[in-house]
Structure 1
Amino acid sequence: MTQHYYSVFGLTLASEFMFDVLDPIPPVAHANTLKVKRRAGIHPDAPPAFDPYFDIQPERQFLHWKAVGTFIIEDPNTVLVEPQEGVSDHLLSQAFLGLVISLVLERRGILCLHASAVSVNNRAALFLGDKGAGKSTTNAALLARGHVPITDDLVAVDRTLTEVPAPVVWPGFSSMKLWPDTVEALALKADEGDRLIHPSVQKVQKRMPTPLATHPVPMGGLFVLRRSADVISPSVIPRPAHEALQMVMRYTFMARYGETRLGREHLGLHLKRCGAVVANAPVYDLMVPADLSQLNALCEVIERIFDPAG
């Protein structure tokens, strides 16, 4: 079976599937290698009552999407995968590089946030928010102004590096998911690699315009996007620590499948990791006009916060 090698979130993937949103690397033996293996016979014996269906336990995580396939994590070094018949590696990667890899990272001590991240003056700016708030749009607007991409959709925050006492953000993958009006507002050129993320969704997956950060980036600040037609111009509102902690916890990947699913011990560690983020980086409400014509003004508000001279 052909092996494909990639680097993502501080891991080396040795995969039997091709992930087109990741840049291939030469075969390498690495202590942080995650093996992604094809395995027949792991689909549920009977159709689950819910779709998607997750059975997440501390020692074993089972995830099944009717239109994608089945994933099993029995240890944080291996993911077993059985695609549904006819499913492309591209569609498989959408599930893998979201909930599936978030569980692997959580088991390895990495906090996963549903967010986007950009390096602004060598510090990570994280954008959190509800669906449609504009996380990827804000990310893309900053990239258009020359800032360095880190990742989109899943942000991996690590505080285990002994040489860096504060949390850092690992580079992820070089693609972003944008609505057509964002592509038009930013005058992004069409590229041969552009594709719909799913035939039923109009979001376009686009390659990021510049290479990803090559090393983990120190945490700089977190911005919870509040998009509204009532907002006239972009602004930020700092949040006190107790409110900031609640906001960060709301946008963790663990909140999507239940904070206690990985066990009480892991929940305690999860709370400490969220607390470390709030203790080391400010958290803001980012008030965002619904009008996409103000994206440059939005970027300027963020850039002032990260201005070394400010």
Structure 2
Amino acid sequence: MNKYLAFGLTIETEVDFNGVLQDSTAATDVLIKEGAIPEKANRPTRIHRRGVMAKFGVADTRLLLDWEGVGKFSVSEGKEIVYQNLGADIGTLRLFLLSEVIGLLLYQRGLFLLHGSAVKIGNNSSVFLGIPGAGKSTTAAAFGKAGHTVLTDDLVAIKLINTKPFVVPGFGQYKIWENTVNGLKIDRSTLKPSFEGASKFLVMQPLSDFPQTPTPLKNITLLYPANSRKKNESIKPLLAPVELLKHFPLPIQLLTSTYLQKHFTDALKIAQFATINQLKRPDGFEALAQFVQAF
């Protein structure tokens, strides 16, 4: 088995992540292995990938996600992922393992999770959240083109260290839409297919330069479409728990009373050190480039 690094964890697995994840020589934190999963996940979710809705389930202490025609996944104790391949190619399998599946594992490990993108600007990190179509991935890609590191795309993991929030670097690749490729004038020859559809591509950041340690969180921006009626304004810290809960990235069945108590406590701690603002996204790619320069 090989060892790789993702979300600050050393993952031991026979799945080939060469060129996608950094190698690791540290002690194993997580084991990913293939195996039969007899239990069925039958609870519908809002999670869709490649047009297929994920179904969620619980078996003892294990969390289950099933994507029909792709794979079944079982996650236990924040330490082990078992997958049963239902016909996915290696690229698709990697995509699903590194999305909500590893999100379940991070949930079990107690990290604060958000559906969004994060970029490293100087020595700090900034997180961008928003409803589908709000422009969070395009905004992150614009920062990436400007020379900043995209720490994570789609799944943001925040760790509280001595009560202060840090973004845990995910892995070096991130997805962009075809209109973003055209709008930002990104060289297509440097991109790879995303395995999530013909209109998405993968940007591969140099693995040798990708951060391995958590980065202090400076701000969180809630993005809204340019034609939104929302005002550009700051969010009061006391409203942080409610605003951030709207961007929970996993099945809503996980929003138990115990989790919600921890979410509210952690969100208030995050808001003590990171500013939270709502902002209408810049209208057009030229305005977006100017926004990145001024941020």
TM range (shorter): 0.7 to 0.9
Q: Structure 1 residue 62 and structure 2 residue 64: aligned?
A: yes
| Other-structure match for 1:287 | 280
Aligned partners of 2:99, 2:192: CA distance in 1, in Å?
20
**CA RMSD in angstroms, aligned pairs only:** 2.5
Tell me the percent identity.
Answer: 26
| Other-structure match for 1:298 | 291
Letter in 2 for 1:140: A
Which of 27, 30, 33 is 1:34 aligned to? 30
Give the stretch that moved more between structures: 243-252 or 17-26.
Answer: 17-26
Which of 188, 191, 199 is 2:186 aligned to? 188
**3-state SS of the aligned residue for 1:206?**
strand
- How far did residue 34 of structure 1 move? 0.5
Q: Structure 1 residue 266 and structure 2 residue 259: aligned?
A: yes
**3-state SS of the aligned residue for 2:195?**
strand
Q: Structure 1 residue 205 and structure 2 residue 206: aligned?
A: no
**3-state SS of the aligned residue for 2:290?**
helix
Give the stretch that moved more between structures: 118-127 or 90-99.
Answer: 90-99
Q: 1:120 to 1:268 in 2, by over 3 A?
A: same
- How far did residue 236 of structure 1 move? 4.3
**3-state SS of the aligned residue for 1:172?**
coil
Q: 1:171 to 1:274 in 2, by over 3 A?
A: same
Which of 156, 170, 173 is 2:168 aligned to? 170
- How far did residue 16 of structure 1 move? 2.2
- How far did residue 157 of structure 1 move? 0.2
Aligned partners of 2:270, 2:19: CA distance in 1, in Å?
28
Unaligned runs of at least 5 residues, structure 2:
45-52
Q: Structure 1 residue 238 and structure 2 residue 226: aligned?
A: no
What's the TM-score once normalised by structure 1's chain length?
0.83
Letter in 2 for 1:122: N
Q: 1:49 to 1:113 in 2, by over 3 A?
A: closer
Letter in 1 for 2:177: W
Q: 1:295 to 1:53 in 2, by over 3 A?
A: same
Letter in 2 for 1:284: N
- How far did residue 273 of structure 1 move? 1.8
Q: 1:295 to 1:259 in 2, by over 3 A?
A: same
Q: Structure 1 residue 251 and structure 2 residue 252: aligned?
A: no
Deviation string 1:160-189 (CA, Å, 9 cap, x unpaired) is: x34xx4111111111121111211222211
Deviation string 1:47-91 (CA, Å, 9 cap, x unpaired) is: 958542101478221110002110112321111110103x11211
| Other-structure match for 1:82 | 84
- How far did residue 112 of structure 1 move? 1.1
Structure with a larger share of its residues in strand: 2
Q: Are the aligned partners of 1:158 and 1:168 in contact in 2 as well (CA < 8 Å)?
A: yes
Which of 72, 75, 88 is 2:74 aligned to? 72
Q: Are the aligned partners of 1:20 and 1:90 in contact in 2 as well (CA < 8 Å)?
A: no
Q: How many residue pairs align between the two structures?
A: 285
